[in-house]
């Protein structure tokens, strides 16, 4: 089983949205996916439950429960686990880093998001990931590219 954790200090970076998108794409590639929602907002768990997909498991948990859940999933037929974490470097994000093979850091193209992502990157690079090879398994995803063509002022009616 492979595990991907989406982690960053900044709220509103798109962790839950990316988690859902990755899950759907992975299912399309015939992966058996399980979602773990560690965010108190439970957006990902709510999305998955409303989706009513019997092939997509989801559980909203606290960080203290993560090791036991991961152990159970490792013994199952799940091939990919995606962990959605709350904003900040919390006990939940720390636990997710330790459980992950790959840490993805969603970042909007703003200076504040980039600054906030640095602490997450340093923490992940600091040897807190599960395996030796995971120390290099860190990705940054830039979200919401700014495009001049999407300028609302250019599309006014009138």
| Domains of the chain by residue range | 2-145
Q: Which residues contact 96 (CB under 8 A, 6 or more apart)?
A: 5, 7, 38, 63, 66, 83, 85, 103
> Hunting for tokens 């954790």 — which residue is that?
5
Least confident of 27-36, 76-85, 115-124: 115-124
pLDDT tens readout for residues 84-115? 999 888 888 989 988 998 889 888 888 888 88
Instruction: Indicate whether 61 pLDDT > 70.
Output: yes
Q: pLDDT value at position 156?
A: 40
pLDDT-derived band at 67, boundaries 50, 70, 90? very high
Q: What number of CA atoms fall less than 13 Å from residue 15's CA on the CB side?
A: 31
Is domain 2-145 annotated with CATH 3.40.50.300? yes
CA separation for the pair 23, 15 (Å, rounded):
12
**Distance in angstroms (rounded) separating the CA atoms of residues 64 and 158:** 57
């Amino acid at each position: 089983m492979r595990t991907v954790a989406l982690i960053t200090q900044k709220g509103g970076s798109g962790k839950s949205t990316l988690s859902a998108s990755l899950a759907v794409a992975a299912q399309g590639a015939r992966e058996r996916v399980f979602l773990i929602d560690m965010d108190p907002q439970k957006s990902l768990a709510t999305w998955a439950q409303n989706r009513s997909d019997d092939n997509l498991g989801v559980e909203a948990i606290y960080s203290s429960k993560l090791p036991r859940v991961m152990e159970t999933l490792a013994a199952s037929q799940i091939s990919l686990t995606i962990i959605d974490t709350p904003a900040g470097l919390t006990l939940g994000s720390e636990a997710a880093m330790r459980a992950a093979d790959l840490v993805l850091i969603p970042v909007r193209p703003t200076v504040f998001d980039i600054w906030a992502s640095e602490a997450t990157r340093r923490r992940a690079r600091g040897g807190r990931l599960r395996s030796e090879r995971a120390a290099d398994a860190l990705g940054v995803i830039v979200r919401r590219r700014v495009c001049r063509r999407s300028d609302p002022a250019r599309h006014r009616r009138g």
